[in-house]
Amino acid sequence: MRRLHRVFDISFDYPCWTLVLAGLLVVYSGSFADEPAKPEESEPEAFRPIGGEFPPLEKAHSYRGELIFVDHANRRGSIRVEGNGKFFRNDPHPFAILPYGIVNYHGAPADLRDVPLGTVMHVHAFLPPDPEISAVPVLPVDNKSKDANHNRGAGIFPAENHVLLLEDEPSHCRRKGLVWRLQEMEIKNNEGMIIAARLPKQGEGGEVEEQELTFDAATRIWRGREFLSIEDLVTEGTWPAEGKKSLEGQPVLLGITWKPTEDGIFTRFHISDIWLDEESLDRAAHNQTETHKAFIRSRWMAAWIDDVEYGKFGRATVTATLFGGMDPSLYADFKKDSSALMNAVENNLKHTHGAYGPAHMASKGKILEVIQTPGEPPLGSSGIQIRFDTDLIIEGIRPPRVVRVRPSDWPKVQVPREEYLRNGGPSVEERFPSPDIFPKY
Amino acid sequence: MALLSSRFDFRIGLLASLSMLAIQLPAIGEESGEEVFRPKPGKFPPLEKAHSYRGELVFVDHATRRGSLRVEGKNAFRRNEPQPFALLPYAIVRYHGAPADLRDIPLGTMLHVRAFLPPDPKISSVPVLPINNKEKKSGYGDPGTAPAENHVLLLEDEMSHCQREGLVWKLKELEIENYQGLIVARREPTEATTAPAQEETFSFDASTRIWRGRERLGISDLVDEGTWPENGKKPLDGQVVQLGITWRPTPGGVFTRFHISDIWLDDTAINRAAQLQAENHKAFIRSRWVPAWIDEVEYGKFGSATVTATLFGGIDDSLYADFTKDAKMLMNPVENTLKHTEGGSAGPTQMSAKGSILEVTKTEEPPLGSSGIQICFATDLITEGIRPPRIVRVRPANWPDVHLPREEYMRDGAASINERFPSPDFFPKY
């Protein structure tokens, strides 16, 4: 009876269907490459991610900047992008995380809400896949080469604002096999300057970048399981209380932020954290991993639909690719013959049926097969496909739409109000958040 | 020359007049004859008149000192829509038992709030609600989850709240399996009392941080060393701790159950957390300047003036100590959001009024929001915006001269109305 009620709800809820049809039209018009969006007309070679295909990382535009603003419920925010000019003058630059975008913090998977404001992040991003429904402002495709004037330089407003990979400094270094080698420090009153170079952990070559960074009494030092301050290092004699000291290339990992700088310095970053050894960063990564595991278990694993084979009376076999960047233990919970739930979500990964909890309206069924695709999967993908059989497929589960899935032995919880759409009554703004939220400077 | 361009900028003048008009208009609500309290410019509102509640920090717009909280009620917490709030210019934010800015507090943190109705609804940067809204049911929520008192005087995390009120958490019992479980705890005064203690059940998991002395531990460390069992129940005999509290979706149809993000096991750990946050905030205030409001201006000749201002409270004492008699000082007008209004793109120093501190006066037991410190300051060139009861920021001349990031100042002479008076339309409607 409850299932009949669910079918009835879906079939005859007029406002719900109006929105679904409107959504279909928008998605349809944006999903086909032969209907180019306006900004592309001036530059036909511009690359945009296409629904159902993970874009290659090497085609992404990369930059770094300071996290200024976070709207985690819509997976978007703003970053002050580093250029050649006066960093403080750069307007916060809006970005949106792609549905399969990966966020890493402290060398572990993260959600945008886990990253503190002020953290300097490395970004790999693309042009908006579909400018018509972009949740952030759509800019001219050549914007990254334009000079922003006012001594700000070029590159601070890239049109590539749809993010595939967002990672903090230690995550970036770990992924690329880099460490910071501390050359020299100068200290007075528990604050000062460090000269350091970012170098490959082993061997020669690669990225070499020497920088002058500030630190102060609020800089955190991590050593094994210890949480120290600059004052502790001074007290134990590791660092002098005043003056210069050579640090002889000591390998560390750094957390980097930005603070206003004196003396007309255009751009100089600040050290928020120093991890003195592998153990200390492993512990930070472990803590962040556990945070994210609990998060994904309650919000479900994101995936997209590769294929649907429709059966009779609402039955279907669905093939979906799980998105990447999560802890392997989460993927391991998707097993052949185990039961699972699948719910339609928007591009911001909000559950579309959620007032009674995402489990209420989700398609339920069994995992027929778990397929590990050969080779290294592209960034964004886990390389894991599941084939899932359900006796009642719901609207929204169709290629190349995004869904969330959970093995049924994950906890059955209800998500908070800002993370789901109201059944049958979400506004267009809720489904397709407008870029108007971002201030114009 | 700088003064001329400032004084005769028509747009700024018009905006200033609009703002003055708005301050003097009666606020909605008073007309109905109901007795409502709203803070008034130039007076710190008494804490006892504030409405208090607690909620989860869900959204932050730190540049305009506002955000959203999911306010705790009696029913299903997760259904409560995020409620926008704005910090009063003299609001005090505390995190880990130390002064903080909104940007320092992680999303998800449970915060204790003391708040008032909007002082001036016409220029509120968050939605203005009916004054009796705290008694109304809203949507799926329950009474109290959408209070009209959304202009905050005091915002503090659990540890700060407990320290201010002289409270501790006493752990009664834990139940654990696979590094996660439940803890029953009571929040009690540090001094023995007969008052009934509040007992609460919290969840914890493998991401809960344990702070002991200078160590940061995980639950697995406590299990490995045998302090906590790997499985099952254990009485904790009223162990005294401080807790960091967040919220996570709860299984089992539980309406409201909070989650422990941090446990501080001893005073050393608590003091170290506070010291780090205090240092962070000191560096922040030195670069953004101390907020204050203008009590009085005595105008002299040719632009000179003697200004009396009260420094806002809640900042580390070492910062106030830098305001000394005869020291050089700078003063710059700011908006209610504390954004610098003058000379932002060239740094707040450029257009600020400069001069010397003639006198520093201290009053005992100031109201919350005030430092109790008044400075009397002589300048030979007073700028627009330095007049009662407007807000300014001040810095001793020996603090660093730095430029602020773009979102924290107004563009000279070209700030939009929305930049000066941020619109509440910014917040999503659920």
| ipTM summary value | 0.91
> For B11-161, CATH number?
2.40.50.320
Q: Within the 95-134 window of chain B, which residues sit less than 8 Å (CB to CB) from chain A?
A: 103, 106-108
Q: Chain A contact for B214, CB < 8 A?
A: yes
Question: What are the DSSP calls for A337-371, one per residue?
Answer: T-EEEEEEB-TT--BSS-TT-HHHHSEEEEEEEEE
Q: Within the 323-382 window of chain A, which residues sit less than 8 Å (CB to CB) from chain B?
A: 355
Please give the Cα distance from A59 to A48 (Å, whole number). Answer: 9
A334-343 residue pLDDT tens: 999 999 999 9
Q: Give the angle B272-B278-B281 at the CA atoms, nearest 5°.
A: 145
Q: Chain B contact for A282, CB < 8 A?
A: no
| Average confidence (pLDDT) over A347-370 | 90
Q: Which fold has domain A39-172?
A: OB fold (Dihydrolipoamide Acetyltransferase, E2P) (2.40.50)
Query: Among A9-13, A82-86, B120-124, which is the least confidently predicted range?
Result: A9-13
Could you tell me the two tokens for B391?
Answer: 């807000």
Q: Chain B contact for A234, CB < 8 A?
A: no
DSSP B22: H
Could you tell me the two tokens for A415?
Answer: 């998500």
Q: Within the 339-368 window of chain B, which residues sit less than 8 Å (CB to CB) from chain A?
A: 345
Cβ-contact B64, B241 below 8 angstroms: no
pLDDT score, position A397: 96
* Closest residue to A287, CB basis, from B80, B209, B401: B209
- Measure in Å the smallest separation between the Cα of B414 and chain A Cα atoms: 10
H helices present in A32-59, as ranges: none
Q: Chain B contact for A220, CB < 8 A?
A: yes
Q: Which of chain A's residues have a Cβ under 8 Å away from the Cβ of B179? A: 290
Cβ contact (<8 Å) for B215 and A417?
no
How confident is the prediction along chain B (430 residues), in pLDDT tens digits per residue?
333 333 333 333 434 444 443 333 444 445 555 678 999 999 999 999 999 999 999 999 999 999 999 999 988 898 899 999 999 999 999 999 999 999 999 999 999 999 999 999 999 999 999 999 998 875 665 789 999 999 999 999 999 999 999 999 999 999 999 999 999 999 999 876 666 677 999 999 999 999 999 999 999 999 999 999 999 999 999 999 999 999 999 987 788 999 999 999 999 999 999 999 999 999 999 999 999 999 999 999 999 999 999 999 999 999 999 999 999 999 999 999 999 986 656 789 988 999 999 999 999 999 999 999 999 999 999 998 999 999 999 999 999 999 999 999 987 666 788 888 999 999 988 8
Cβ contact (<8 Å) for A287 and B218?
yes
Cβ-contact A215, A255 below 8 angstroms: no
Domain formed by A300-436, architecture: Beta Barrel (2.40)
Q: Give the angle B171-B172-B178 at the CA atoms, nearest 5°.
A: 80
Please give the Cα distance from B243 to B98 (Å, whole number). Answer: 15
Cβ-contact B109, B92 below 8 angstroms: no
Instruction: State which H helix or E strand residue B246 sits in.
Output: strand B232-247
Asked whether the predicted pLDDT for residue A228 surpasses 80, the reply is: yes
* Closest residue to A89, CB basis, from B108, B275, B406: B406
Q: Which of chain A's residues have a Cβ under 8 Å away from the Cβ of B419? A: 439
Q: Within the 36-95 window of chain B, which residues sit less than 8 Å (CB to CB) from chain A?
A: 58-63, 70, 76, 78-82
- Measure in Å the smallest separation between the Cα of A15 and chain B Cα atoms: 16
The mean predicted confidence, pLDDT, of chain A is: 89
Phi-psi region of B52 (alpha: psi -120 to 50; beta: other; left: phi over 0): beta
Please give the Cα distance from A66 to A261 (Å, whole number). Answer: 15
Asked whether the predicted pLDDT for residue A346 surpasses 80, the reply is: yes
Domain ranges of chain B: 11-161, 166-281
Cβ contact (<8 Å) for A262 and B418?
no
Q: Number of Cβ pairs closer than 8 Å across A and B?
A: 147
Residue of B nearest to A262 (CA): B402
Cβ-contact A164, A102 below 8 angstroms: yes
Cβ contact (<8 Å) for A283 and B218?
yes
Q: Chain B interface, mutation test: which of A91, A114, A257, A259, most B Cβ atoms within 10 Å? A: A259
pLDDT score, position A4: 34
